[in-house]
Amino acid sequence: MPGMSLPAPRLAVIHTGGTIASRPSPDGRGLTPQQPPSLPGLEGVTVTDAQPFNLPSPHVTPAHMGQLAALIRDLADTHDGVVVTHGTDTLEETAFALHLLLDVPLPVVLTGSMRHAEEVSWDGPANLLDAAHVALHSSSRGRGPLVVIGGDIFDARTVTKIHTTAVDAFGGYPGPIGRIDREGTRARVHYFAVPEPRATYHPAHLGAKVEILYAYAGWTGEGYAEAAARADGLVIAALGTGNLPAELLPLIRATDKPVVIATRTHAGPVLPVYGYAGGGATLVEAGAIPASFLNAHKARLLLLILLGQGLSREQIAAVFDRDEF
Ligand SMILES: NC(=O)C[C@H](N)C(=O)O
């Protein structure tokens, strides 16, 4: 009807800590999360804030990820988009856990900053505003949780932190799925990929113990037996396409818990192609599960969630094999 204005879009901003909330601590001991950033320059939007915790992201656990998923589910009916501010160190893990746990239709966008509010190159406000625009954009729906940093929009499955200090700290093969740029107050959002259907999971708990072992030249299995005894499942950041020294083969064959083989190489899938002792084909024959293209820490979260849902080793292998994530 002429003269009737559309209701203001409703955005929820959930602050969880990280450098985007950090400042030098008064006791001179270094940066600590203190004050969450405020959202600049977004006209005509109703914003609600939440702060379930205020942590440096190395203190974030799967339990916090579950808490965030529950909060976002609660907000989903009354909001059009959600932004989560988060420390960058484990941001990709929270993004992927939410990707696996959330089946809400509204966009959920994670962001953070690499510089704190008292530095000249403070990147918090721009990242926060970009994330807000992306979260309220209709093309962002149906893509699962997204990560927005430095104007790049990433898929939670592939995004990874690639630099410890640079402002453009995020990447990951095959790169961003979209881009946000601002022209004055107008946001221009472009996607280079179409939304894809994805599986989500409803674990009874997030308390399964999954440990990661990191392979290296000359590893003869140090630490493997201890980890296999105390954990519910293992992930190995293996070599290349998912290969290990020969000594690991009998250890994996003797393990009845799920052992997922990821790669310490920064891009590409795990493929069981090599037939020498410890080669990927022999590890799979011994019962190991290839992680597809998930990095070790994301494969760990998927395994932890599948264990929390009570899946058997065979069912878990099928999820990884069919890329059901
Ligand atoms: N840039 C950052 O946010 C790093 C910080 N250590 C964190 O992850 O909490």
pLDDT tens-digit profile of 35-49? 999 998 788 999 999
Check pLDDT > 80 for residue 3. Answer: no
Check pLDDT > 90 for residue 123. Answer: yes
Strands 22-24 and 31-33: antiparallel
The answer to whether 53 and 85 have CB atoms below 8 angstroms apart is no
pLDDT at 24: 96
Topology match between the domains 10-191 and 210-321: yes
Phi, psi of 301 (to 5 degrees): -65, -40
The answer to whether 249 and 258 have CB atoms below 8 angstroms apart is no
Topology of the domain comprising 210-321: Rossmann fold (3.40.50)
From 88, 90, 111, 158, active-site residue: 88
Q: Rounded to 5 degrees, what angle do the CA atoms 127, 129, 134 make? A: 90
Over residues 158-211, the pLDDT tens digits come to 999 999 999 999 999 999 999 999 998 899 999 999 999 999 999 999 999 999
Q: Let me know if 88 is a catalytic residue.
A: yes
Retrieve residue 261's tokens: 């083989």
pLDDT at 185: 85
Check pLDDT > 80 for residue 155. Answer: yes
**Helical axes 296-308 vs 91-101, angle rounded to 10°:** 40
Tell me the pLDDT of the chain averaged across its residues. 96
User: For the chain, first and last CA: distance in Å?
Assistant: 43
How many angstroms does the Cα of residue 116 sit away from the middle of ligand 1?
10
Q: Which CATH class is domain 10-191?
A: alpha beta
From 16, 19, 263, 282, active-site residue: 19
Q: Band of the pLDDT at 229, cuts 50, 70, 90? A: very high
Mean of pLDDT values over 283-306: 98
Q: Band of the pLDDT at 1, cuts 50, 70, 90? A: low
% of the chain surpassing 70 pLDDT: 99
Mean of pLDDT values over 253-259: 98
How many angstroms does the Cα of residue 130 sit away from the middle of ligand 1?
19
Q: How far is CA 79 from the centre of its chain?
A: 22
How many angstroms does the Cα of residue 73 sit away from the middle of ligand 1?
25
Amino acid letter, residue 204: A
Ligand 1 within 6 A of CB of 149: no
Q: Is the dihedral of CA 295, 296, 301, 307 positive or negative?
A: positive
Listed in sequence order, the DSSP H helices in the chain are 62-76, 91-101, 124-135, 224-230, 248-253, 280-285, 296-308, 313-321
pLDDT at 194: 95
Ligand 1 within 6 A of CB of 87: yes
Q: Let me know if 19 is a catalytic residue.
A: yes
Over residues 66-108, the pLDDT tens digits come to 999 999 999 999 999 999 999 999 999 999 999 999 999 999 9
Q: Band of the pLDDT at 2, cuts 50, 70, 90? A: low
Domain layout of the chain by residue ranges:
10-191, 210-321
Closest atom of ligand 1 to 112 CA is 3
**How many other C-beta atoms are found inside a 10 Å radius of the C-beta of residue 308?**
20
The residue contributing the CA closest to ligand 1 atom 7 is: 87
Rg of the chain, C-alpha, whole Å: 21
